A and B are shown apart, each in its own frame.
Chain A
């Protein structure tokens, strides 16, 4: 029976012990289960441990404690079984042979993923096309822009026809159109039955492509939810935004039972937050009675959840 869970992480802990310095705990009792076919997002501040987790799952790094399975195979004891099943994209400037052309890079990895000659040719052409690099295929990678390298990274990760893809910040450096294409590509990959674990700092990206996201901070998973329901973790209630209102009305709204705050926003609009069931309806009635109909209700966005849960810590890591 094929494993229904693409990724299972059980109590993973990873400690780095750099020479002559204090040990760093990059991951601490992390557990996570990703079913086959899910696109899972890993969100968290710099140094949270996202890359470390991805590296452990892709057999590059060993966990200090705990166990992880990919398609039912242990990433420590069954690397031979795991490696053909996974595709890795570690984003950034590095990870490509800069003096070779895009095509040569892909062909090489195709061979290392044990494809036959004709398969290599076919997949290379198909993937170059898929990431929009066909015209640049025979140019050296060192001449590529950052976004072009990023696309090539992606094609490289797909060379082996992996069942589970690990994408570490796959869209950094991509222009908005390329990023949009990327999101479409992720959808296609999902339709093909692949499982994707992706780290990102782009909340909109996470909201649009991920079935579920995990918030991770200082090596611990804070929450794993769908992007929508994650909002309810910081507020079960909707917020009401209005463009403008007389001060008297605002003062009156503040007195409505269940209204927690009435605050002007940077863009000149006014946000009313409630913390009791039924309060939204009361507020809306007041607004309509006062003749204000341009009203928007919403749940907190993923970015707000993120900021709230991670806390505003500026540039401290």
Chain B
């Protein structure tokens, strides 16, 4: 826990000195504008919920992944990764603390995108199921952070973690049904999509914005949480394995 908090604290300090890592706050509202324009043009105002939820998910997931890569990269640049590994605290817990912090800050992009939707398009986002909505966000954030740790363990193996993490975000946008519903994906890809927590989260959030009653909220939230726990467990395990590997190869400190 202390490692987690230490990670959170250092992350706040890093964010202040590397403000460029907060770029999604800038891009999220742009995506809203693009999506809303397309949907309006196509005559589908019913898809407004997609247009306002998708940019937030893109921003949040990008932040989580980017920070997973970037946390590792910063350690390499500064030449601190070896010392971090040799410190008594769990490496995975420190990274989790860092990613969670940024992702939590990312929630601000909800306000941003909705404000843009309101001001430019007069589209009001109404939350019909407040508790389901809040619960989904909280659990999704934790899950994002947990899953990112799994990704960051892979980034330890690459020399240019940031580039890699950028590219790694796109498949999740598709599989997570963030903008395009999973139901329009080819059949064979749907099972894969159901193990991507984003697909459950995005469905839940959109449902919470609709006036129709929600079904199986507990089960679906449970799935998000379960996938998150699995992600983190897998990540922590992979991190241990990979750290042993780089300690064997001697590539930990190399840039």
Question: Which residues of A line the B interface, CB within 8 A?
Answer: 16-17, 55, 58-62, 80, 83-84, 86, 88, 90, 92-100, 104, 108-109, 111-114, 140, 156, 160
Contact of A108 among B9, B74, B248, B253 (CB under 8 A): B9
Q: What are 25 of the A-B contact pairs (CB < 8 Å)?
A: A58-B86, A59-B85, A60-B247, A80-B88, A86-B86, A93-B79, A94-B80, A95-B80, A95-B83, A96-B78, A96-B80, A97-B74, A97-B80, A99-B17, A108-B9, A109-B83, A109-B87, A111-B2, A111-B6, A111-B9, A111-B89, A112-B3, A114-B2, A114-B89, A160-B87
**Most chain B C-beta atoms within 10 Å of own C-beta, residue among A17, A108, A160:** A108
Contact B88 A90 (CB under 8 A): no
- Say yes or no: A62-B88 contact (C-beta < 8 A), given A88-B83, A96-B80, A112-B94: no
Task: Report the interface size for chain B: residues with CB under 8 A from the other chain.
Answer: 30
B87 touches A61 (CB 8 A): no
Bound Cα distance from A55 to B249, whole angstroms: 13
Closest to B5 in A: A111
* 14 extra interface residue pairs, beta carbon distance < 8 Å, beyond A94-B78, A95-B79, A156-B83: A16-B250, A59-B85, A59-B247, A60-B253, A90-B79, A90-B82, A90-B83, A97-B80, A100-B13, A109-B83, A111-B6, A112-B3, A112-B88, A113-B87
- CB-CB under 8 A for A61 and B89, given A90-B82, A114-B2: no
- Pick the contact of A62: B83, B87, B247 (CB < 8 A): B247
Nearest-Cβ distance from residue B2 to partner chain A, whole angstroms? 6
Closest chain-A Cβ to B19's Cβ sits at a distance in Å of 11
Contact A61 B88, beta carbon cutoff 8 Å: no
The digit string for B68-96, where 1 denotes a CB below 8 A from any CB of A, is 00000010001110111111110000100
Residue B244 at the chain A interface, CB threshold 8 Å:
yes
Given A108-B9, A112-B94, A83-B87 contact (CB < 8 Å): yes
A62→B252 CA distance, assembly (Å): 11
Q: Are A83 and B18 touching (Cβ within 8 A)?
A: no
In the assembly, what is the distance between CA of A86 and CA of B85, in Å? 13
User: In the assembled complex, how far is the CB of residue A121 from the closest CB belonging to chain B, in whole angstroms?
Assistant: 13
Query: Which B residues lie within 8 Å of A84 (CB)?
Result: 88
**How many Å from the CB of A259 to the closest CB on chain B?**
51
Note all chain B residues with C-beta closer than 8 A to A83: 86-88
Measured CB to CB, the residues of B under 8 A from A are 2-3, 5-6, 9-10, 13-14, 17-18, 74, 78-80, 82-89, 94, 244, 247-250, 252-253
For residue A140, which residues in chain B have a CB less than 8 angstroms away from its CB? 17
Number of A-B contacts defined by CB within 8 Å:
85
Distance from B181 Cβ to chain A, minimum over Cβ atoms (Å): 42
How many angstroms from the CA of A83 to the CA of B86 in the assembled complex?
6
B248 contacts A59, C-beta separation under 8 Å = no
Which of A60, A99, A160 makes the CB contact (< 8 A) with B82? Answer: A60
Task: Let me know if A114 and B88 touch, CB within 8 A.
Answer: yes
Partner of B17, one of A100, A109, A113: A100
Could you tell me the distance between the alpha carbons of A73 and B73 in the complex, rounded to whole angstroms?
31
Say yes or no: A60 contacts B86, CB within 8 Å: yes
Contact A108 B247 (CB under 8 A): no
Please indicate the chain A residues that have their CB under 8 angstroms from the CB of B253 in the complex: 60
Of A16, A99, A104, A113, which is within 8 A of B88 by CB? A113
Say how far A174's CB is from chain B's closest CB, in angstroms.
19
With a cutoff of 8 Å between Cβ atoms, the chain B residues found around residue A88 in the complex are 83, 86
Of chain B, the residue at the smallest CB distance from A14 is B250
CB distance from B81 to the nearest CB of A (A): 9
> How many whole Å from A141's CB to the nearest CB in chain B?
9
